[in-house]
Amino acid sequence: MAIEIHWIRDNDSLGRHCAEWQQLPYVALDTEFMRVDTFYPIAGLLQVGDGSRAYLIDPLTIDNWQPLAALLENRAVVKVLHACSEDLEVLLRLTGSLPAPLFDTQLAAAYLNLGFSMGYSRLVQEVLGIELPKGETRSDWLQRPLSDTQISYAAEDALHLAEVFVQLRPKLSDDKYAWVLEDGAELVANLRRETDPYEVYRDAKLAWKLSRAQLAVLRELCAWRETQARVRDLPRNRIIREHSLWPLARTQPDNLGALAKIEDMHPRTVRQDGEFLLDLIKRSGSLPPDQWPPAVPEPLPVDAAALLKQMKAIGQAEAERLDIAPEVMLRKKTLEALLKSGFPNGPYQLPDSLRGWRRELMGQALLDSLATAGEQP
């Protein structure tokens, strides 16, 4: 079956179509982008599906994104995407707005227990019985003209995404539908919470092994790396490689020769930023103790594994009861944060990351489970 494709290549056309889409109950959205040598994704194509047609929007010829921003923010129109974290970055970068409400078909598949973290092709095969062509995902979406294969691939994505939504929506109970939208809102909120560069060090590899004085250096290095990646629009590892951060903070080199010998240190970094890095290390290494960051907690010990397993079982039992993919229930990071709040003897506190329906359904059971574990001889 031939797909009806409409190209949108100018501001007026985008405005007209967005006004039409504002009247629909839902639109399917997808993006194609390039992100090889940049921090931010570069949009190559936007696709919209309304259930019967595919619209291809050329971001290289449009500069007024306000109509699309208004559509994204219209809460009367459900925005349907799949595994959308990077698509959200593209939309935010282009329009300054993010979709609400957001229905992620990958999440919906998990809530229907079709599978966890399902790829788009597999989901289309499962729900629609259609086998999608492969091979264009990694192609050059900034080239013009796009190839016929690229155009067909992009149009199919938009059309079938809308069809998948139409099939999945009636199968979701009201509760599950609300939970899919709740998780979608959480994805949007997480993207809006732009990471504070001065908090990045907490997630650096082996940070817990450093003293507070060394952490002061790591904090500055990570903050500078994060800021420069954004300013220069380069991947973080092009600023300083990940594996160089910890040895830099631990050994604190004071000359270019020592800097060049740091594990995984790229010669380009030494050449471009070496003198600055030596000065940054010297300054942050001289901070007084009252300006040192707090120690980073150690990873949970091996004997916490049994408690983690016990808490995970609560999520699995609830998943079985609700017929939901168990991986959706309780994230490992959330359970670890809960354990760290009081290990080994309590009292424990539910972490902020356990929100909404998960907190309501499982929060007290998790606390009760840990309290019972603490009473055991």
Shared domain for 39 and 156, answered yes or no, is yes
Residue in 87, 89, 104, 156 annotated catalytic: 87
Q: Which tokens sit at 121?
A: 């092709």
Residue 296 lies in a domain: no
Q: Where are the alpha helices (DSSP H) in the chain?
A: 11-21, 66-73, 85-95, 105-111, 120-128, 148-168, 174-192, 212-232, 236-239, 242-251, 256-260, 267-285, 305-322, 332-340, 356-375
User: Which letter does DSSP use for residue 49 in this model?
Assistant: E
120-128 and 148-168 helices, crossing angle to 10°:
60
Catalytic residue at 157? yes
Instruction: Say how many residues make up the chain.
Output: 377
Shared domain for 113 and 171, answered yes or no, is yes
Residue 336's domain comprises: 302-375
Specify the range with the lowest mean pLDDT, choosing from 172-186, 193-207, 213-227: 193-207
Q: What is the band of 137 on the pLDDT scale with cuts at 50, 70, 90?
A: low
Q: What is the rounded distance in angstroms from the CA atom of residue 247 to the CA atom of residue 204?
A: 11
Q: What is the pLDDT of residues 293-341, one digit of tens each?
A: 999 988 999 989 999 999 999 999 999 999 999 999 999 999 999 999 9
Element (H, E) at 56: strand 54-57
Residue in 26, 55, 111, 153 annotated catalytic: 153
User: Which letter does DSSP use for residue 146 in this model?
Assistant: P
**What is the CATH number for 105?**
3.30.420.10
Residue 297 lies in a domain: no
Catalytic residue at 104? no
- What pLDDT does 134 receive? 74
- What pLDDT does 346 receive? 86
Shared domain for 110 and 209, answered yes or no, is no
Q: What is the rounded distance in angstroms from the CA atom of residue 19 to the CA atom of residue 306?
A: 55
Shared domain for 178 and 202, answered yes or no, is no
Shared domain for 260 and 319, answered yes or no, is no
Residue 261 lies in a domain: yes
Residue in 58, 157, 183, 226 annotated catalytic: 157
Catalytic residue at 290? no
Catalytic residue at 30? yes
Catalytic residue at 203? no
Domain final position from 247, 266, 291: 291
Count of the separate structural domains present in the chain = 3
